[in-house]
Amino acid sequence: MKYLWLGFFVFAIATTLDASKDTNDDIQITCEESNVHIKWKVDRPMTDNPARLFLGSCFPSRFTNESSGAEAEFYYPLGACDFRRMATWKYLVYENKLTYRPLPKPSPPSFSYPVRCVYDRPKGWTPTFQSSSTGVIQGHGELAFHMEILNDDFSGPAESNVFPLGSFVPIWAGVNQQAHQPLLLLLEECVASTTLEMYSDTLTYPLISNKGCLVDSKKSFSKFLPRYHSSSLLLHLQAFKFAVGQEIYIHCKLIAWDPDQLSEEKKACNYNKDAGAWELLDDPFQSSLCQCCESTCQGRGKRDTDSTPQGLVLKSVLGPLTFTEDSL
């Protein structure tokens, strides 16, 4: 079984429009098929510096200042200006903010107003969750790594990128190879963050650490599921209370490895709450390899440092997801 849904294109037709629950007579928002058109009657104190007026990250498309009053006009595609898109079972939702920033960031705006466009979800449309990379391992040919968010029974792509707290996010990771030698797919490390790029000061939430320990399984019901093939991995990730309502990205290190070379550094471990112990996904009789999950997991032998490469490690980013207190 392979899940390679690559290159989805969205052709959304706007049938339901909801600019915002709030109202402001000075702001007129028109949600078009693939654009948003905003007219903003600007208060006089804001007219001195129209370059401090923003829709997300975008400047006004047009600004007029006449005796009758000043007006900022924004006309942009919904894919611009850092619009945030959420997909629910019924709707596609685009959100942003109008702001006036008299001082540069990180100073907060002195005025903020929500912009929200809601569209009926086109039939058959699915959000795109994919991250792929390729590499070469000696003796194994070219490899293609993939990660996907799937539906509840892992039979196809997810139909929503919005998950209520406590619900499960089905994640599939896999590696395809041209040669016939078997490979074991492992997740060495995964963290959640609110940014696509990782920086030294990025706020993160650890999911998998210590060379394959699913640390989130110790405080939630997250779990590696039994494999159907060594070259793929299924993860039930329980939506957690981190950056609720914001876009979340899952950053992972994927490893393709020799199935016969499991070690403290190359493993997939769940925490069994009933037994109060860590268990090795691929062979519970070798669960002693997971005991280091409570300390520091390190290699014990030369096999992890041989000059002939036994595996390939690649970084992957999956998202965006949104965790909410309630479903939309």
Of the candidates 188, 194, 197, the one whose C-alpha atom is nearest the C-alpha of residue 255 is 188
φ/ψ region of 82 (left if φ > 0, alpha if ψ in -120 to 50, else beta) reads left
pLDDT, position 180: 56
Q: Which residues pair with 117 in a beta bridge?
A: 94
Q: In which element (H, E) is residue 40 found? A: strand 35-42
pLDDT, position 178: 64
Compute how many other C-beta atoms are within 10 angstroms of the C-beta atom of residue 7: 7
User: Look-up: residue for tokens 């998202």?
Assistant: 319
| One-letter-per-residue 3-state SS of 15-31 | CCCCCCCCCCCCEEEEE
pLDDT, position 300: 56
pLDDT, position 319: 82
Q: For residues 50 and 37, what is the distance between their CA atoms, to the nearest angstrom? A: 18
pLDDT, position 234: 93
- The identity of residue 12, as a single letter, is A
Query: What is the pTM for the complete model shown?
Result: 0.65
**Neighbouring residues of 121: CB distance < 8 A, sequence distance ≥ 6:** 12, 87, 88, 89, 90, 91, 92
pLDDT, position 122: 76
φ/ψ region of 79 (left if φ > 0, alpha if ψ in -120 to 50, else beta) reads alpha
Phi, psi of 215 (to 5 degrees): -65, -25
Mean pLDDT in consecutive groups of 10 residues from the start of the chain, 328 residues: 33 33 79 94 88 93 90 93 81 91 86 93 62 52 78 80 91 77 89 86 92 95 92 92 88 88 94 95 94 86 42 80 76
Q: Which domains does the chain possess?
A: 23-120 (2.60.40.3210), 144-296+310-324 (2.60.40.4100)
